[in-house]
């Protein structure tokens, strides 16, 4: 008897979530309201038998597509979640953002997401942060570990990562540093949607064609996130579309294309 | 026909499109630095049409801007430092599919400095291709990587001899290198599935047969990938469920863990080690999934048990007749990655399944140079240096549960942590029987028949048999409380009796002295006698300092041997040393302080308090009557005849 591959993926992620919960006294999960971190939230409920035994962090750039916030607040109520909202008020007040202010796209991402996350981690003393990144999204994420250390300045030292073998993860770390935990690392975009379909999971409707012949494939801030041409109106439609697509998932994310190493530089500084 | 301009290659051999996702083969490409690992992966992605539209053109344009030739390796060498140096630093995972299957390609670095990253990549793989440069031949990392593949348990290995273009596609050059490396692998016990002549740069024998190697009759790299298999979960191995945690989020007490091998059903009887406790699976708990009554290897499960046992992370569940070893000594083969050498006599932290324990190597018996396979040599004073492989004997501070790697791989491999970092990995060769607490499997499970049955004795006594094992410092109140408990139980009409130093040392253990070995043997005898009493339906109360965790654990295991199901209550009298010393009824502390008694527990010898005592009583804070009441309250429901 053997399990289908979606169950195998789920088993691995559940194992990782339980390891993280057992090892980090002060643990939180990043929730962007997008498909990946919502699947992650669902997997946490699988791992902990319906409970989510740690807070969720939502980094609010204030530029998010508005219906994302309504959707977030509804699930928080319905699923009885603890939510921490992080925001970089100083930069927002100074107006140093893209496109209205003087910031480039990358500088804006760095200030509104990375710095805001840094603030939340410092304030709450989190030592473990669960993040829904996947290897297939982007080439520097393809080099990530399941348990990935960040130093006191939140930087990722990509040239000196810890060994990781046989599901023995890096759980020892120096004071002031933290570990990013990546339970979805081995999933693909197609897996995520097939799993949403199998589980009949709720998902934010921005991913569907709203009648304009366009949909979001990846969710981010309104000024930097484009839609793709698509008539997919259901989860099954999206699954069918992804089985034949030849474009990459983050093609609609403009900040990645500012320079050849733009995304690597963002991630080295602590971006998700 | 392959040409030097990849962009003009038709995507013909295979297509990446279509179909639901499925089972994925994880394939690592290893070998010496600059032999072409990343180039092979880039070429595979390109020739199988696995790249997103525009990706090739984007990287070609980037290379043109930088004024350097396009390299296929840039598809996975995503870090700026990697592109600058044209070398892979860290392992990358990329997905692709052949016409037949889905695959994850794992690019591993070939530089010795990044061996930990190579190990990380290879440990995640189901199969491996070792790539060897046709011009340079077999080099140091070619051999070291082969050795590590064997240690990591990768059984499906193939070889690609690359850069055939640099030797003008000469068969002789290919045959020489194929012969050299196959001979090296044979020394490791590896027979390669295939040896393929390729040029990754020009696409020869990658996705399509090359006309430039007419002398080669075998398949392409894609054919090879299609012939590898994804290993089955270990359902046919003995049941092993290492506990990750016990959750009490609501009314349920759920044991969470991954079933690493075997199969499990509701109603199965389980033995938990090292505690020796037993119970029966009541339910398999899940959220948002159909109810289930069974689980197989690989499943992350949650169980509830018929009995309320106190269990924690690190316990390993198995079947009663097919248990792993519980031991504080084992031998292992270790590969070392740390900056500081691995040495004997130094304490390291080990992680094995969900157990974490401190231990030290008492011996490093052989060191093999992983790159030459020379040896095994006797180790020098330097211990085990980075990238060396050695055989070690480990002594642990407390009993650990494990299997030889060949028996159950998931319970037979471990990592070693030095400071904050994982610095090595190893596989268990053997559990040292001298250090084993209980044989791995019980050869004879049948118990004597023809005596009065346990059930009939229980019916007459009106209660079950049990062992109440007191532990604590001298003067903690063990004998006093044991005697008071015996009187109380007797008054209730229950059959109880005390075993203590006064009645055991005069006869049963009259031949024993007070050396560490003799004390351990004394406690073993006490446990055996207590077991015999309990089997007859009596409540045996033992009152011994029993300062060692190992001795107490052995007593618990003796009681649970052969599936005997009677309660064992470890009662820890936690009375503080100062209070015990103030009482000092036999003036033993005074004499120990004066140096008249050596190795006196609490003064000159350690007491190892239980981590998971069934009951803890501090007799300096609780009166005798209250302590007896607590004991009776604890015992009464457990001794009731159902």
pLDDT at B117: 86
pLDDT > 60? residue A266:
yes
Answer whether B288 sits within 8 Å of A46, measured CB to CB.
Answer: yes
Look-up: residue for tokens 């049941």? B239
Residues of chain A with C-beta less than 8 angstroms from the C-beta of B93: 135, 142, 186
The answer, for B48 touching chain A at a CB cutoff of 8 Å, is no
Q: Per the structure block, which two tokens stand in for B638? A: 């457990």
Cα dihedral B182→B184→B190→B191 (10° resolution): 10
pLDDT at B265: 96
pLDDT > 50? residue B10:
no
Q: How confident is the model at residue B446 (pLDDT cuts 50, 70, 90)?
A: very low
pLDDT > 90? residue B34:
no
pLDDT tens digits for range B486-542: 999 988 888 999 999 888 988 899 888 888 888 889 999 999 999 999 988 899 999
pLDDT at B1: 35
| A62 to chain B, closest Cα gap in Å | 31
pLDDT tens digits for range B286-313: 998 888 999 999 999 999 999 888 899 9
Query: What value does the mean pLDDT of chain A take?
Result: 87
Indicate the pTM of the whole model. 0.77
pLDDT at B522: 93
Answer whether B235 sits within 8 Å of A14, measured CB to CB.
Answer: no
Q: How confident is the model at residue A258 (pLDDT cuts 50, 70, 90)?
A: low
Q: How confident is the model at residue A204 (pLDDT cuts 50, 70, 90)?
A: very high
- More confident of the two residues A175 and A81: A81
pLDDT > 50? residue B458:
yes
Closest A-chain CA to B416:
A168
Q: How far lies A245's CA from each of A206, A229, B16, B56, B93, in Å?
A: 19, 12, 10, 16, 20
Nearest alpha-carbon partner for B60 in A248, A260, A135: A260
Give the Cβ contact number of residue B625 at 10 Å.
10
3-state secondary structure B32-87: CCCCCHHHHHHHHHHHCCCCCCCHHHHHHHHHHHHCCCCCHHHHCCCCHHHHHHCC
**B318, B325, B479, B546: the active-site residue:** B546
pLDDT at B497: 93
pLDDT at B351: 97
pLDDT at B437: 57
Closest B-chain CA to A138:
B78
* Residues 150 through 169 of chain A touching chain B, CB cutoff 8 Å: 158-159, 161-166, 168
pLDDT at B136: 92
Residues of chain A with C-beta less than 8 angstroms from the C-beta of B249: 48-51, 53
Q: How confident is the model at residue B434 (pLDDT cuts 50, 70, 90)?
A: low
Give the Cβ contact number of residue B280 at 10 Å.
13
Task: Determine whether B620 is exposed, middle or buried from the number of CB atoms within 10 Å of its CB (0-12, 13-18, 19+).
Answer: middle
Q: Select the residue from A16, A49, A177 to test the B interface by mutation, using most B Cβ atoms within 10 A.
A: A49
pLDDT > 90? residue B60:
no
pLDDT at B13: 33
Q: Residues A197-218: what's their mean pLDDT? A: 91
- More confident of the two residues A158 and B288: B288
pLDDT > 90? residue B316:
yes
Measure the N-to-C terminal CA separation of chain A; round to a whole number of Å.
38
Question: Are B94 and B45 contacting, i.e. CB atoms less than 8 angstroms apart?
Answer: yes
The answer, for B53 touching chain A at a CB cutoff of 8 Å, is yes
The answer, for B244 touching chain A at a CB cutoff of 8 Å, is yes
pLDDT > 70? residue B74:
yes
* Interface predicted TM-score of the whole assembly (ipTM), two decimals: 0.91
Inter-chain CB pairs, A–B, below 8 Å:
168
* Residues 536 through 575 of chain B touching chain A, CB cutoff 8 Å: none
Q: Residues A102-119: what's their mean pLDDT? A: 83
Residues of chain B with C-beta less than 8 angstroms from the C-beta of A137: none
pLDDT > 70 in chain B, percent: 91
- Classify B9 as helix, strand or coil: coil
Q: How confident is the model at residue A152 (pLDDT cuts 50, 70, 90)?
A: confident
Q: Residues B617-623: what's their mean pLDDT? A: 93
Is B546 noted as a catalytic residue in this protein? Answer: yes
The answer, for B32 touching chain A at a CB cutoff of 8 Å, is no
pLDDT tens digits for range B118-152: 889 889 999 999 999 999 998 988 998 999 999 89
pLDDT at B327: 87
pLDDT at A87: 83
Q: How confident is the model at residue B433 (pLDDT cuts 50, 70, 90)?
A: low
pLDDT > 60? residue B7:
no
pLDDT > 80? residue B104:
yes
């Amino acid at each position: 008897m053997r399990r289908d591959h979606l169950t195998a993926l789920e088993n691995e992620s559940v194992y990782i979530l339980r390891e993280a919960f057992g090892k980090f006294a002060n643990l939180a999960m990043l929730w962007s309201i997008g498909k990946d971190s919502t699947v992650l939230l669902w997997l946490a409920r699988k791992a902990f038998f319906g409970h989510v035994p740690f807070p969720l962090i939502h980094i609010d750039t204030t530029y998010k597509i508005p219906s994302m916030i309504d959707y977030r607040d509804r699930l928080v109520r319905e699923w009885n979640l603890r939510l921490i909202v992080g925001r970089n008020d100083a930069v927002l007040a100074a107006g140093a953002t893209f496109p209205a202010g003087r910031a480039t796209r990358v500088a804006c991402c760095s200030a509104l997401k990375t710095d805001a996350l840094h603030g939340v981690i410092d304030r709450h003393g989190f030592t473990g942060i669960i993040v829904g990144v996947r290897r297939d999204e982007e080439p520097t994420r393809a080099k990530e570990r399941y348990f990935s250390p960040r130093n006191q300045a939140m930087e990722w030292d990509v040239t000196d990562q810890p060994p990781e073998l046989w599901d023995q993860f890096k759980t020892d770390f120096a004071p002031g540093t933290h570990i990013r935990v990546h339970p979805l690392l081995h999933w693909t975009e197609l897996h995520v949607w097939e799993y949403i379909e199998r589980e009949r999971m709720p998902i934010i409707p921005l991913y569907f064609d709203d009648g304009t012949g366009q949909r979001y494939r990846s969710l981010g801030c309104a000024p930097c996130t484009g839609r793709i041409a698509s008539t997919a109106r259901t989860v099954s439609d999206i699954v069918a579309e992804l089985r034949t697509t030849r474009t990459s998932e983050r093609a609609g994310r403009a900040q990645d294309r500012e320079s050849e190493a733009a995304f690597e530089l963002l991630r080295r500084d602590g971006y998700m | 026909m392959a040409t030097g301009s990849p962009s003009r290659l038709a995507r013909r051999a295979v297509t990446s499109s279509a179909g639901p996702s499925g089972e994925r083969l994880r394939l690592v490409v290893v070998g010496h630095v600059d032999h072409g690992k990343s180039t092979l992966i880039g070429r595979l992605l390109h020739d199988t049409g696995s790249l997103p539209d525009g990706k090739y053109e984007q990287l070609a344009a980037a290379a043109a801007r930088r004024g350097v030739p396009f390299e296929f390796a840039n598809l996975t060498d995503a870090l700026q430092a990697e592109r600058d140096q044209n070398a892979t630093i860290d392992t990358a995972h990329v997905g692709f599919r052949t016409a037949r299957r889905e695959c994850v390609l794992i690019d591993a670095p070939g530089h010795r400095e990044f061996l930990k990253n190579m190990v990380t990549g290879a440990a995640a793989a189901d199969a491996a291709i070792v790539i060897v440069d046709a011009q340079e031949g077999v080099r140091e990392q070619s051999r070291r990587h082969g050795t590590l593949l064997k240690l990591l348990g990768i059984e499906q290995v193939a070889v690609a001899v690359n850069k055939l273009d640099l030797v003008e596609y000469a068969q002789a050059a290919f045959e020489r290198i194929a012969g050299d490396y196959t001979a090296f692998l044979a020394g490791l016990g590896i027979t390669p599935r295939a040896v393929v002549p390729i040029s990754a740069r020009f696409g020869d024998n990658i996705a399509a047969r090359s006309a430039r190697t007419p002398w080669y009759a075998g398949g392409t790299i894609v054919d090879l990938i299609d012939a590898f298999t994804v290993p089955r979960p270990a359902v046919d191995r003995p049941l092993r469920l290492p506990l990750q945690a016990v959750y009490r989020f609501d009314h349920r007490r759920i044991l969470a863990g991954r079933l690493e091998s075997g199969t499990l059903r509701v109603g199965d009887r389980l033995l938990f080690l090292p505690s020796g406790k037993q119970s029966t699976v009541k339910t398999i708990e899940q959220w948002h999934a159909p109810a289930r009554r069974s689980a197989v290897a690989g499943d992350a499960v949650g169980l509830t048990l018929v009995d309320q046992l106190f269990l924690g992370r690190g316990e390993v569940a198995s079947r009663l007749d097919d248990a792993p070893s519980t031991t504080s000594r084992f031998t292992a083969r270790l590969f070392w990655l740390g900056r500081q050498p691995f040495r004997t006599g130094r304490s390291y932290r080990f992680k094995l399944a969900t157990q974490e324990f401190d231990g030290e190597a008492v011996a490093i018996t052989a060191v093999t140079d992983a790159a030459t396979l020379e040896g095994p040599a006797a180790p020098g004073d330097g211990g085990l240096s980075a990238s060396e492989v050695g055989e070690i004997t480990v002594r642990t501070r407390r009993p650990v549960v494990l299997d030889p790697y060949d028996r159950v791989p998931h319970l037979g491999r471990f990592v070693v942590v030095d400071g904050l970092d994982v610095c090595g990995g190893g596989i268990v060769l053997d559990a040292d029987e001298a250090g084993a607490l209980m044989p791995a499997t019980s050869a004879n499970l049948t118990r004597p028949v023809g005596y009065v049955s346990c059930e009939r004795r229980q019916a007459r006594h009106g209660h079950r048999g049990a062992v109440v094992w007191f532990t604590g410092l001298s003067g903690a109140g063990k004998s006093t409380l044991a005697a008071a408990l015996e009187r109380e139980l007797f008054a209730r009409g229950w059959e109880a009796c005390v075993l203590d130093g006064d009645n055991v040392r005069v006869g049963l253990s009259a031949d024993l002295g007070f050396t560490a070995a003799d004390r351990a043997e004394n406690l073993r005898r006490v446990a055996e006698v207590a077991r015999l009493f309990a089997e007859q339906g009596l409540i045996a109360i033992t009152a011994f300092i029993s300062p060692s965790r190992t001795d107490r654990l052995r007593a618990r295991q003796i009681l649970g041997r052969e599936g005997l199901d009677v309660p064992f209550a470890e009662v820890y009298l936690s009375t503080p040393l100062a209070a015990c010393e103030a009482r000092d009824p036999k003036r033993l502390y005074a004499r120990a302080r004066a140096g008249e008694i050596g190795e006196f527990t609490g003064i000159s010898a350690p007491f190892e308090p239980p981590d998971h005592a069934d009951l803890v009583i501090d007799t300096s804070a609780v009166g005798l009557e209250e302590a007896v009441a607590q004991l009776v309250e604890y015992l009464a429901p457990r001794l009731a005849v159902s």
